[in-house]
Structure formats: C-alpha cells, structure tokens
Amino acid sequence: MPNAKFTISLLPSDQDLIRFIDEKKKTQSFSAYIRDLIREDMSRNQEISNLEQIYEYVEKRLHESGFAIKDATEGKMKEIVDEVDKELIMNLF
C-alpha cells in the first residue's frame, strides 16, 4: 500500500500552533506526531461509542453536582437534552 499524503493549512492567526509545531519537530517528526494524535483519538472514540452511556454519565454528574432537578432526571437523558446540547456533549468527548 503506498503512503497516503495529506496537506494541512495553518492560518496566520495560528502562530501559537506554528510555534508549537516548530518545537515538536525538534524531538519528533511531524508525521509521527500526527499519526500518534490520530491513533489516540481513534482509541478514545472506541471507548465512548454508546450515546446512551454518555447521556447517563452526564445525568449522573449533573445530579451529583446538584444541578439536575430530580423530576427532570427521572426520564432518560436523551429525552431531556436537545440537539444543540448533544453536540456540545459530543465535543467534550
């Protein structure tokens, strides 16, 4: 299988990323760094594949923190959160 090549672009406003990449390249190839990040992200996504588990976890944490009203948490979390909330929750994981 031939090597796959991808191109990324950094904007002028990404100076912090550019500096970080320049420092990272002193100790590791940039390609290896990106492969490691992708593998880490892939393994993390496998652990949290069931949305219902995520909703139950969020529901539990809200209840523990005192932010959830008991009556509201008696239903399933997926019935309580709307699509915007779901997107915000998924961005956390």
Domains of the chain by residue range: 15-47, 51-92
Give tens-digit pLDDT for 53-68. 777 777 777 777 766 5
Burial of 77 (0-12, 13-18, 19+ CB in 10 A): buried
Cβ atoms of 54 and 73 closer than 8 Å: no
Q: Which residue has the higher pLDDT, 78 or 60?
A: 60
Q: Which residue has the higher pLDDT, 75 or 79?
A: 79
Give tens-digit pLDDT for 2-60. 788 888 888 999 899 899 889 988 998 888 888 888 888 777 765 555 677 777 777 77
Is the confidence at residue 88, as pLDDT, over 70?
A: yes
